[in-house]
Chains A and B, each alone.
Chain A
């Protein structure tokens, strides 16, 4: 990791994380009445954005070496395959 992250926008990221957390809670309120697909899709996207913000800025992945990216890419691929397989079974496709 280089020292490029010395001026990373930590408090802007905190504001972003807080904003998306509040938005998620409002999004999930039954009274808002968002349809199931849009509801779950929206929540997944917002959680993904928040997780990416933590990974990129707080864990400094944005400034990290390619080898480190390789280390985390491996489980991500496995997770995608696992979730796809489990969901295919769970919804009765097979």
Chain B
């Protein structure tokens, strides 16, 4: 019997220019961004409504150095992530594993430094129940830290699948999707760093 599929032209994999998974990830990121903006909005209202915005526990010894380094760390981890994607797009599996691994390391270091910062601030007396500043500070940075932690787990799953040889130059959509998530986490931190760590210090 003659095949009936021979005359049918091959379908493009993503005729719209994006995969369904990418559209789904962007929809998720859009909704997640609104969640973050709700928290940032609450922070701004509390900040503006307060005539005496206390920053207890923000001792000068701690300064801005640690969080500036954490910001740089996330920025660099975005580069390692995008380099991992570029590697697999060229079919370089070893490069993918290396750059993904470095991205995971960056995320783990960020979470570790945030835990160190929180411990330091709590020992200095900045408890979440202490003030509006403390409550909004821990909520915002904690929500972001949760995203970074989830990102590290997500990246680790992709790394394991990469190790198993699941991705090729032609088929690597999950790597691109985890990259979108990770860059979003970086982008949100860029905003949080400015709003939480730079503006309060500057207007004191």
Cβ-defined contact, B198 with A79, below 8 A: no
The residue in B18, B48, B190, B204 that gathers the most chain A C-beta atoms within 10 A of its C-beta is: B190
B-side binding surface: helix, strand, loop or mixed?
Answer: helix
Give the distance to chain B from A77, nearest Cβ to Cβ, in Å: 11
Cβ-defined contact, B71 with A21, below 8 A: yes
Known interface pairs A58-B186, A75-B30. Does A67 touch B23 (Cβ–Cβ under 8 Å)?
yes
Of the listed stretches B73-81, B117-125, B127-135, B141-149, name the one at the interface; the rest are far from the partner chain. Answer: B73-81
Contacts of A40 in B (CB 8 A): 199, 202-203
Known interface pairs A21-B72, A79-B37. Does A51 touch B18 (Cβ–Cβ under 8 Å)?
no
Per a CB cutoff under 8 Å, which of A25, A68, A78 touches B23?
A68
Cβ-defined contact, B48 with A39, below 8 A: no
Cβ-defined contact, A39 with B186, below 8 A: no
The residue in B30, B33, B83 that gathers the most chain A C-beta atoms within 10 A of its C-beta is: B30
Known interface pairs A51-B187, A58-B82, A68-B26. Does A21 touch B75 (Cβ–Cβ under 8 Å)?
yes
Known interface pairs A21-B72, A28-B201, A68-B26. Does A47 touch B44 (Cβ–Cβ under 8 Å)?
no
Cβ-defined contact, A90 with B16, below 8 A: no
Q: How far does the alpha carbon of A32 sit from the alpha carbon of B54 in the complex, in Å?
A: 22
Per a CB cutoff under 8 Å, which of B27, B176, B191, B202 touches A71?
B27
Cβ-defined contact, B16 with A67, below 8 A: yes
Interface string of A72-94 (1 = CB under 8 A from B): 10110011001100110111000
Known interface pairs A24-B194, A36-B203, A72-B30. Does A65 touch B17 (Cβ–Cβ under 8 Å)?
yes
Name 9 A/B residue pairs within 8 A (Cβ), A-sorted. Answer: A6-B86, A10-B82, A10-B86, A39-B202, A50-B190, A54-B183, A67-B17, A75-B30, A83-B44
A interface residue numbers (CB < 8 A to B) = 1-3, 6, 8, 10-11, 13-14, 17-18, 21, 24-25, 27-30, 34, 36, 39-40, 43-44, 46-47, 50-51, 54-55, 58-59, 64-65, 67-68, 71-72, 74-75, 78-79, 82-83, 86-87, 89-91
Closest 3 CB pairs of A and B: A65-B17, A47-B194, A90-B48
Given A2-B17, A28-B199, 7 further pairs, Cβ under 8 A: A18-B75, A28-B198, A51-B191, A58-B179, A64-B18, A75-B30, A90-B44
